[in-house]
Amino acid sequence: MSLYARLALGLGAFLVTVGVIYGVTGHEYTGMLLLIVASACIAFIGLYVRRVVQEAARETESGHAEAEVEEPHVGPTIWPFVLPLGALGLVLGAIVTPWLLVLGAVGLAVAAVGWFRDVSRQWHHAGD
């Protein structure tokens, strides 16, 4: 794993820990939410960098580093529409009520997982 990926994942873990401690001790949930969202964004970057480095190492080991990989077309999906709805619920939950916060977080997580699964499935079919 690259140094940048380790730093990003470590910073993500630190920020989520700080966010939970801040929310419990400070009783101010907006700041906690912002710290946790920042940790998720940084952890996502770390995971992405780790995956890219691993795939590059795998290609180098197999000797296919020079081969050009054609990017498949990603078909239409509902998840790009659902993702901002979940984010909107998250933001409104931070302002209005914690119930919307929970619904928004669940919607955001489901949309992100669904979108990544759709894209991953289409990439997998392109390699066949």
Pair 1, 62 in one domain: yes
Pair 51, 103 in one domain: no
* Residue range of the domain that includes 99: 72-128
**pLDDT at residue 22, rounded to an integer:** 92
Looking at the structure of the chain, the number of domains it has is 2
Pair 9, 62 in one domain: yes
The whole-model pTM stands at 0.54
Pair 43, 78 in one domain: no
Below-70 pLDDT ranges, the chain: 1, 63-74, 123-128
Give one DSSP letter per residue of 32-95, joined into a string. HHHHHHHHHHHHHHHHHHHHHHHHHHHHHHHT-SSSPPPPPPPPP-SHHHHHHHHHHHHHHHHH
Pair 64, 103 in one domain: no
**pLDDT at residue 126, rounded to an integer:** 55
**pLDDT at residue 17, rounded to an integer:** 92
**pLDDT at residue 64, rounded to an integer:** 59
pLDDT, tens digit, for every residue of 87-108? Answer: 888 888 888 888 888 898 899 8
Tokens 């669904």 correspond to what residue? Answer: 114
User: Is residue 91 within 8 Å of residue 104, measured between CB atoms?
Assistant: yes
